[in-house]
A = this chain, B = another copy of it.
Amino acid sequence: MSELTPELEQLLDGNRIGVIATRAADGQPRQSVVYYARHGDRLLVSTLADRLKTKDVLREGRASICVHGHEQPYPSAVFSGPAEIRTTGIGPDTALVMQRVSGADQPPEPQTDEALAGVGRVLLDIRIERISAVSHV
């Protein structure tokens, strides 16, 4: 399954954290919790250049995010695809993620690439190519 149906869009837009998985250098899955924003068929995560997940994506070029609701029957799905680490033109996308963190009505004023680089921030960008483990959506 790879079509982003309205129900799957609602799952993504109605939640704001998910569990990202990347392949570590030793070949094992690596997981952690991240805030994300959806922009069309892309999932955006603001992270730090020195994080292991950043290095995994630079090396492997792939990632997945599992999102679930928090009440039974726990609607959930896994979104995976090619991923990249972006460092230029990332102000607006980073602001979309920050809006999800704060829960504000509008995204904050975008920061410049230089300001974001100054605090080590990069943008992890996943294109949804495959949707799997869809349950109760």
A interface residue numbers (CB < 8 A to B):
17, 19, 21-23, 27-33, 62, 64, 66, 68, 70, 74, 76, 78, 80, 132-133, 135
Measured between beta carbons, the chain B residues less than 8 angstroms from A21 are 19, 21, 29, 31
A-B contact sample (14 more), CB < 8 A, given A22-B29, A29-B30, A32-B135: A17-B68, A19-B19, A19-B31, A19-B68, A21-B29, A23-B28, A29-B64, A31-B66, A31-B78, A31-B133, A32-B66, A33-B68, A33-B133, A70-B70
Which of B29, B32, B62 lies in contact with A23, CB distance below 8 A? B29
Q: How far is the CA of A22 from the CA of B17 in the complex (A)?
A: 20
Residues A33 and B74 in contact, CB atoms below 8 Å apart: yes
Residues A62 and B28 in contact, CB atoms below 8 Å apart: yes
Copies of this subunit: 2
Q: How far is the CA of A23 from the CA of B24 in the complex (A)?
A: 11
Which of B27, B31, B32, B135 lies in contact with A27, CB distance below 8 A? B27
Measured between beta carbons, the chain B residues less than 8 angstroms from A66 are 19, 31-33
Measured between beta carbons, the chain B residues less than 8 angstroms from A29 are 21-23, 29-31, 64
Measured between beta carbons, the chain B residues less than 8 angstroms from A135 are 32-33
